[in-house]
Amino acid sequence: MHYLNKLAEIESKYEGLTEQLGKAEVLADPNVYQKTAKARADLTEIVEKYQEWKTISKSVKDTKALVDESSSDPEMKAMAHEELMDLEKRLEKVEQELNVLLLPRDPNDEKNVVLEIRAGTGGDEASLFAQDIFRMYIRFAESQHWRVEVLSSSMSGVGGLKEVIALVEGKKVYSKLKYESGVHRVQRVPATEQQGRIHTSAITVAVLPEADEVEIQIDPKDIRIDTFCSSGPGGQSVNTTYSAVRLTHIPTGTIVSCQDEKSQIKNRAKGMRVLRSRLYELELQNQQKQIIEERRSMIGSGDRSEKIRTYNYPQNRVSDHRIGLTLHQLDRIMDGKMDDIIDALIAHYQAAKLMQPPKSEGGVDEAPSALAG
């Protein structure tokens, strides 16, 4: 389908939804109103961009006519030609943005995420780096006005994090964090190093889209629930009641532990959210192999054992190995100013998708159409 026809259809649908929102029967039903409002909101960005494209296109047409009409006035023609070049650059930029907006959306982009960080090779130094990375994500979340809630954590003897599982809630969280899964490597001189030698340690990060209850139904008979006393660093008891909870999903062997709350009921609820997200990830891998293969073709194997990024402290350098990006801004990035990396990753994978021929409605590949055609 031609891009212009597709965009005109989207604009028409948007106008229809706007009209629906003003009808008494829609206003009277909160569920219908919410669903209609969300459908309209989902189209707002692309409709506004299409309307911008139409405005600039008209200006280009009018300015071209002015250039032709100004043949007898060299000064006027030069001014009109300069304006035309500026308009054509703006039009090209808007066309590129429309191409991206027309890409098939990841259905998980709007979801909250369960963020899991675990210390890997490197012992105590790895646990300290895991804590640093978690702090980095917390500060980035604050800049995005997201909310971070720790679901489970385990401290090391030196005050680092052996493991932390957190829920990150907000607008389009998964769309920005989905490329963070993998092995993150650090090169620095540990605080415990006496001779100033640089050590290399690693941690793993997993970003799971949070599953809604309607998406993942868990049969209570498939869950084994064990309770135990929660403990702190070095095995010190946090409390003497059996408030910590371990959930085992028998069919898949998936195990989740949660001990941060003093209430067993709260720990069980938090554990179920993590379990549901892990089962949802398994479901995605089983049911959406095509998407998994597409991701794999763009970012390698996608396995969490794959090193995706290196943080080099002596050189104040961060390198993302998947896209060949190197920034000498480690201090800023560790302070949560991750926009340059996040934006570069999103742009890279969007460009990779744009290189793939789109599917027609009948499932046949189409060559990309020019907007101005």
Segments making up each domain of the chain, as ranges: 3-102, 113-352
Could you tell me which residue, 138 or 31, shows the higher pLDDT?
A: 138
Average pLDDT over residues 136-147: 97
The reported pLDDT for the residue numbered 235 is 44
Percent of the chain with pLDDT over 70: 84
In terms of DSSP bridges, do strands 317-320 and 325-327 run parallel, antiparallel, or are they unpaired? antiparallel
Is the model's pLDDT at 239 over the cut of 60? no
Is the model's pLDDT at 238 over the cut of 80? no
Q: How many CB atoms lie within 10 A of CB 211?
A: 23
pLDDT tens profile 90-114:
998 898 888 878 877 788 888 899 8
Range list of H helices, the chain: 3-21, 24-27, 30-69, 74-101, 124-143, 173-177, 264-287, 289-299, 330-334, 339-354
The reported pLDDT for the residue numbered 177 is 95
DSSP 8-state class, residue 106: P
pLDDT tens profile 152-189:
889 988 889 999 999 999 999 999 999 999 999 999 99
Q: Residue 262: helix, strand or coil by DSSP? A: coil
Say how far apart CA 29 and CA 225 lie, in whole Å: 40
Say how far apart CA 29 and CA 64 lie, in whole Å: 51
Say how far apart CA 145 and CA 171 lie, in whole Å: 8
Positive/negative CA dihedral, 36, 41, 44, 46:
negative
Which of 141, 104, 158 lies closest to 294 in space, CA to CA? 104
pLDDT tens profile 275-309:
888 888 787 776 555 544 544 444 344 344 468 99
| CATH code given to domain 3-102 | 1.20.58
In this structure, are residues 211 and 113 in contact, taking their beta carbons and an 8 Å threshold? Answer: no
Domain 113-352, what fold?
A: Alpha-Beta Plaits (3.30.70)
Is the model's pLDDT at 80 over the cut of 50? yes
Q: Residue 233: helix, strand or coil by DSSP? A: helix
Is the model's pLDDT at 45 over the cut of 60? yes
